[in-house]
């Protein structure tokens, strides 16, 4: 129980630091992990799944092991790890800056900013396309950059926080279906899908809870989720994007251009295509979901610790 309270306190402190300070401008540990992963890839890469599995196991296993060693630091370690892996404040700040540029009619500046949110080709997008791309990215990253780390932290403390961020970072680096990574990145993509299975649905539920604060209705969120999420090629992004579309009363999806090609995404939600004003509401929705997530994580951490203690206390057979 004491460990659960310590974890809860660390999650709350780390979340507060992220809200006040945001990501460190230099020397971010996640960036360092990315550089390490890229260096290892130059040695471990091969065009088959086995090589990708080994790559994933070595990197994620090392990070989880580091997290287990740091767990002795108690509340301080949890707070530092939480701040390290969260990206909620930076996500909201970037979304607002994008909306500012679109409101000013500065499409060129908005295009320059889009790569900070997602990997789509900004040169092919007009103002409405930029608003839609940014909104969809904010919806997905609310889960990836805030809700999922907090929930994994509540369940598994520092190893959960750091391990989740390693999984998510590797997916962002190699989890693509292009020629180079179709096989090597298969494990990274599948592990990320599993790691986000519950957090994405938690994000959908929290979106429904806070929807009235952005002019939406919980019932609409749940109906849109149930009707549209399964149309999306991602089992997790479909949930959070459909929930956001339902909360904001907009229509997402359609032609989506990446640098590696074009995808025709299914439409999610009923309503007009999003504009800059909807992007501002999406940022507000993201922040509300983040606050709801940290409250949920703080309440869940002691319960999770009690469950782990009971599992350890069970007598072994034989």
Domain that holds residue 213: 2-311
Bridge partners of 264?
Answer: 255
pTM: 0.93
Three-state SS at 19: helix
Judge whether 318 lies within some domain: no
Question: How many domains would you assign to the chain?
Answer: 1
Q: What confidence tens digit (pLDDT) does each residue in 81-138 have?
A: 999 999 999 999 999 999 999 999 999 999 999 988 887 778 888 888 899 999 999 9
Q: Which residues of 87-104 are buried (b: 16+ CB within 10 A; e: fewer)?
A: bbbebbebbebbbbbbee
Q: Which of helix, strand or coil describes residue 257? A: strand
Give me the pLDDT at residue 161, please.
Answer: 97
- Stretches where the chain sits below pLDDT 50 are none
Rounded (10°) angle between helices 148-174 and 197-210 = 120
* pLDDT given for residue 119 in this prediction: 75
Residue 247 is predicted with a pLDDT of 98
In a domain, 217, yes or no: yes
Q: Can you tell me the distance from the alpha carbon of 150 to that of 120, in angstroms, rounded to the nearest whole number? A: 27
Burial of residue 165, with CB atoms counted within 10 A of its CB: 0-12 exposed, 13-18 middle, 19 or more buried: buried
Asked if 79 and 57 count as a contact pair (C-beta separation under 8 A), the reply is no
Please tell me the total number of residues recorded for the chain in this structure: 318
Q: Strand, helix or coil at 177? A: coil
Share of the chain above pLDDT 90, in %: 78
For 251-264, the pLDDT digits (tens) are 998 776 665 556 67
Contact 132, 252 (CB under 8 A): yes
175 touches 49 (CB < 8 A): no
Give the pLDDT of residue 82: 97
The answer to whether residue 264 is domain-embedded is yes
251 three-class SS: coil
d(CA 260, CA 285): 30
Cα separation, 153 vs 8, whole angstroms = 9
Q: Per the domain annotation, does 316 fall within a domain?
A: no
Measured distance CA(171)–CA(184) in Å, rounded = 11
Between CA 51 and CA 90, with CA 163 as vertex, the angle to 5 degrees is: 115
Measured CA to CA, the distance from residue 164 to residue 81 in angstroms comes to 11
Whether residue 48 is contained in a domain is answered as yes
Tokens of 248: 């904001």
Give the C-alpha separation, 15 to 21, whole Å. 10
**pLDDT for the residue 256:** 67
* Whole-number average pLDDT of the chain: 92
* Residue 317 belongs to a domain: no
CB atoms within 10 A of CB 180: 12
| Angstrom distance (rounded) from CA 260 to CA 143 | 25
Backbone angles phi and psi of 130, in degrees to 5: -65, -40
In a domain, 154, yes or no: yes
What is the reported pLDDT for 257? Answer: 62
């Amino acid at each position: 129980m004491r460990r659960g309270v310590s974890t809860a306190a660390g999650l709350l402190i780390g979340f507060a630091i992220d809200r006040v300070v945001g990501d460190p401008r230099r020397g971010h540990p996640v960036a360092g992990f990315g550089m390490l992963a890229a260096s290892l890839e130059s040695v471990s890469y091969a065009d088959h799944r086995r090589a990708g599995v080994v790559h994933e196991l070595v990197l994620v296993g090392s990070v989880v092991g580091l997290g287990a060693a740091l767990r002795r630091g108690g509340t301080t370690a949890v707070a530092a790890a939480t701040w390290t892996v969260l990206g909620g404040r930076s996500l909201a700040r970037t979304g607002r800056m994008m909306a500012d540029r679109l409101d000013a009619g500065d499409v060129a500046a908005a295009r320059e900013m889009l790569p900070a949110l997602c990997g789509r080709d900004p040169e092919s997008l007009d103002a409405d396309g930029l608003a839609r791309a940014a909104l969809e990215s904010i919806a997905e990253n609310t889960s990836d950059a805030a809700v999922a780390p907090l929930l994994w932290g509540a369940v598994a403390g520092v190893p959960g926080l750091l391990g989740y961020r390693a999984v998510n970072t590797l997916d962002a680096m190699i989890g693509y279906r292009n020629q180079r990574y179709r096989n090597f990145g298969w494990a990274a993509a599948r592990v990320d899908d599993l790691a986000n299975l519950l957090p994405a649905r938690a994000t959908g539920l929290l979106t429904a809870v806070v929807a009235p604060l952005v002019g939406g209705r919980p019932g609409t969120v749940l109906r849109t989720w149930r009707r549209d999420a399964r149309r999306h090629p991602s089992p997790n992004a479909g949930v959070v994007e459909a929930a956001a579309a339902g909360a904001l009363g907009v229509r997402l999806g359609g032609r989506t251009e990446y640098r590696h090609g074009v995808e025709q995404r299914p439409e999610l939600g009923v309503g007009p295509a999003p504009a800059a004003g909807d992007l501002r509401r999406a940022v507000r929705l993201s922040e509300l979901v983040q606050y709801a997530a940290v409250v949920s994580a703080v309440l869940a951490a002691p319960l999770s610790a009690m469950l782990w203690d009971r599992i350890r206390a069970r007598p072994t057979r034989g």
